[in-house]
Amino acid sequence: KAGVTQTPRYLIKTRGQQVTLSCSPISGHRSVSWYQQTPGQGLQFLFEYFSETQRNKGNFPGRFSGRQFSNSRSEMNVSTLELGDSALYLCASSLGSGSGYKTYEQYFGPGTRLTVT
């Protein structure tokens, strides 16, 4: 089955602009998590959505937001971009609920590389 897809793969924005990134999870997966990866901070958790509701949240400012649609696709938005927002943004999907060994295995997409100038 198809893996996690993220669009766009690369993006260049200027400071002060806003950006929306998209993630399509694996079919049947209801949980989508977002991460930011930078050389200095490593992989950091942003938030998780499950059944259109934010279920977990990391320690990021309110400029970072997200949402999930009824088909489990998710978007994240960053407003008022800063230079420090330049990073690889990864999303990961998982079943997210139920019992069973595979429920919480996360499958990551290729990421969107955002450059803020």
- What is the binding site for another protein (CB under 8 A)? 4, 31, 33, 35, 42-45, 47-48, 50, 55-56, 58, 88, 90, 92, 94, 96-97, 103-111
Instruction: Please report how close the Cβ of residue 30 comes to another protein at its closest, in angstroms.
Output: 10
Instruction: Please report how close the Cβ of residue 9 comes to another protein at its closest, in angstroms.
Output: 11
Instruction: Output 78 or 95, the one with its CB closest to another protein.
Output: 95
Instruction: Please report how close the Cβ of residue 16 comes to another protein at its closest, in angstroms.
Output: 28
Instruction: Output 13 or 113, the one with its CB closest to another protein.
Output: 113
Q: How far is CA 27 from CA 35, 50, 107, in A?
A: 20, 14, 12
